[in-house]
């Protein structure tokens, strides 16, 4: 099974990167426009906070020690811990989000592969499952970040209640798209504020920051090819995690793409999110390297931002699958809509927390969807895709109206 999963994710990555290259070359200069285009900052904020979850806040401090352990983790010995952390979260893997955002913005309206009933159902099962996985990660890591509420290891009733209310807040927020946009921008601001606060709190100098950033960029980009296939089982887990997110994030964020040319959209997604990630990891590594205690206000601040990330991720995805399946508040009423989503997601969260479900299975399904989509295009809609010269006309008209109004 392990070999099959490794081959599956390696194939998926190679396929995705090849498709990225194809899209950029084939549609160089095409202006990608979604159905509700927004300015670049808002688009990046929506993508960043929807495409990243609580793991970004809660994982790194525990992972640096693993990556630094040369005796027991020789797989990471080719570079430094900062570069490893960045490689698991930044730059190259954001090309997956470019691919799916571009596809749903420009290609899917002509192909309608995701309107095929079985594909539509399978895609929404993936979305619901990944929502629950996100909540389960939050539940598992809460004891470490709020040890004051327990023994620092055991998941107690209080933590289940916190996760329940986070899911409830996300379901409520998903009832109106304006909440999704506001929360996305607000989450980005909170994350940047957390970086600044922790930087100042640690009394980290600009020289130390520059040194960490230098180690990160040099260690990553000189070894970037090492991150294209699984380094080990843990990296494989991360790659499946990113694949599990990729289709649904692209499907959601594609509607907000605001007229960037294909090549500029790729560069924006590779570079802009990677900058705060690199700074964030550099600050966290300073804490780890200098043994700075994070209990108290630091952990509380991280949990607050983590909560906003979880709510923001979940509300985007709840909005997506409920729209896809027409399980909307307008159809069922707000109360039934919220209760139904909370019940399903909280139940699946408990399933993931007990290891009954695994994100690797969901990621493998997504690789299969990628392959099936490519096959569908080659066999049935090749000529329509080859003829694409611009974004859908209705999107372009909407964009022109908004542009004229501004």
d(C-alpha 310, C-alpha 129), whole Å = 14
How open is the CA angle 48-54-57, to the nearest 5 degrees?
90
Instruction: Please report which confidence band the pLDDT of residue 151 belongs to, taking 50, 70 and 90 as the band edges.
Output: low
Number of domains in the chain: 1
- pLDDT at position 397, please? 64
Instruction: Please report which confidence band the pLDDT of residue 405 belongs to, taking 50, 70 and 90 as the band edges.
Output: very low
φ and ψ of 31, to 5 deg:
-85, 115
Residue 313 has pLDDT above 60, yes or no: yes
SS3 337: helix
Q: Report, as an integer, the average pLDDT of 170-187.
A: 78
- pLDDT at position 402, please? 52
Among 261, 235, 221, smallest CA distance to 98 is for 261
Please write the tens of the pLDDT for every residue from 219-276.
Answer: 999 999 999 999 999 999 999 988 988 998 888 888 888 889 999 999 988 998 899 9
Which residue range(s) make up the domain with 210? 2-405
- pLDDT at position 347, please? 85
d(C-alpha 213, C-alpha 275), whole Å = 10
Contact 228, 17 (CB under 8 A): yes
Among 306, 245, 264, smallest CA distance to 47 is for 245
Residue 180 has pLDDT above 80, yes or no: no
* b/e burial code for range 234-244 (CB count within 10 A of at least 16 → b): bbbbbbbbbbb
Positions of E strands within 20-171: 31-33
Largest CA distance in the chain: 62
Q: Report, as an integer, the average pLDDT of 205-220.
A: 96
Q: What is the CATH number of the domain that holds 169?
A: 1.20.1740
């Amino acid at each position: 099974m392990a070999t099959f999963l490794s081959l599956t994710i390696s194939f998926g990555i190679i396929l995705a990167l090849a498709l990225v290259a194809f899209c950029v070359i084939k549609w160089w200069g095409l202006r990608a426009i979604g159905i509700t285009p927004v300015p670049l900052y808002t688009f990046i904020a929506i993508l960043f906070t929807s495409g990243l979850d609580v793991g970004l806040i809660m994982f790194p401090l525990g992972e640096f020690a693993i990556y630094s352990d040369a005796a027991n983790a020789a797989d990471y010995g080719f570079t430094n811990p900062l570069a490893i952390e960045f490689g698991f979260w930044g730059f190259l893997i954001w090309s997956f989000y470019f691919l799916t955002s571009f596809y749903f913005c420009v290609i899917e309206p002509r192909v309608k592969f995701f309107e095929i009933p079985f594909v539509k159902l399978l895609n929404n099962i993936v979305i619901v499952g990944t929502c629950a996985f996100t909540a389960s990660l939050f539940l598992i890591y809460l004891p470490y970040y709020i040890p004051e509420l327990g023994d620092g290891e055991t998941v107690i009733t209080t933590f289940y209640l916190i996760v329940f209310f986070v899911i409830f807040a996300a379901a409520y927020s998903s009832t109106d798209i304006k909440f999704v946009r506001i929360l996305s921008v607000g989450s980005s601001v909170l994350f940047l504020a957390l970086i600044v606060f922790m930087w100042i709190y640690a009394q980290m100098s600009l020289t130390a920051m520059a040194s960490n950033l230098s180690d990160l960029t040099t260690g990553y980009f000189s070894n970037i090819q090492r991150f294209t296939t699984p380094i080990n089982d843990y990296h494989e887990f991360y790659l499946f995690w990113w694949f599990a997110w990729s289709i649904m994030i692209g499907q959601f964020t594609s509607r907000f793409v605001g007229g960037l040319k294909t090549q500029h959209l790729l560069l924006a997604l590779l570079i802009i999110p990677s900058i705060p990630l690199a700074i964030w990891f550099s600050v966290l590594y300073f804490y780890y390297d200098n043994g700075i205690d994070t209990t108290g206000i630091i952990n509380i601040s991280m949990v607050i931002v983590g909560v906003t990330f979880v709510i923001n991720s979940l509300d985007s995805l709840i909005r997506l699958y409920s729209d896809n399946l027409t399980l909307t508040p307008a159809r069922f009423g707000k109360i039934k809509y919220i209760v139904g989503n909370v019940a399903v997601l909280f139940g699946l969260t408990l399933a993931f927390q007990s290891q009954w479900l695994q994100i690797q299975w969901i990621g493998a399904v997504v690789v299969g969807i990628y392959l099936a989509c490519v096959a569908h295009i080659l066999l049935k809609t090749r000529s329509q895709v080859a003829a694409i010269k611009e974004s859908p006309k209705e999107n372009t008209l909407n964009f022109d109206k908004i542009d004229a109004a501004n």
